[in-house]
């Protein structure tokens, strides 16, 4: 019998648990791409980094609102003010 060959990217899986984990991982990938001379990839990873940071901020804001006013989560935004 022949050996089984598994195709993959060669990049170990990193379990993402929080949005800031994603931000950290994208930063590492962006820096690695820039160091290897992949400027276009680094540019797109920089864009993804901006989006991930925005999502992280939204999660932080939503968590703060939920802790401050747990009884008002069901209300529309205009009624909460």
Indicate whether 44 belongs to any domain: yes
22-31: long-range contacts, CB 8 A cutoff, minimum separation 24: 22/52, 22/55, 22/56, 23/49, 23/52, 23/53, 23/56, 26/52
Is the confidence at residue 55, as pLDDT, over 90? no
Indicate whether 35 belongs to any domain: yes
pTM: 0.58
Indicate whether 29 belongs to any domain: yes
Total number of domains in the chain? 1
Boundaries of domain holding 50 = 19-69
Please report which confidence band the pLDDT of residue 21 belongs to, taking 50, 70 and 90 as the band edges.
confident
Indicate the burial class of 75 (C-beta count within 10 angstroms; 0-12, 13-18, 19 or more). exposed
């Amino acid at each position: 019998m022949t050996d089984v060959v598994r195709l993959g990217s060669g990049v170990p899986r990193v379990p993402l648990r929080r949005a800031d984990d994603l931000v950290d991982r994208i930063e590492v990938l962006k820096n690695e791409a820039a160091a290897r001379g992949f400027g276009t990839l680094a540019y797109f990873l920089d864009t993804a980094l901006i989006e991930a940071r925005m999502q992280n901020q939204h999660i932080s804001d939503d968590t703060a609102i939920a802790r401050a006013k747990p009884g008002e989560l069901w209300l529309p935004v205009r009624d909460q003010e």
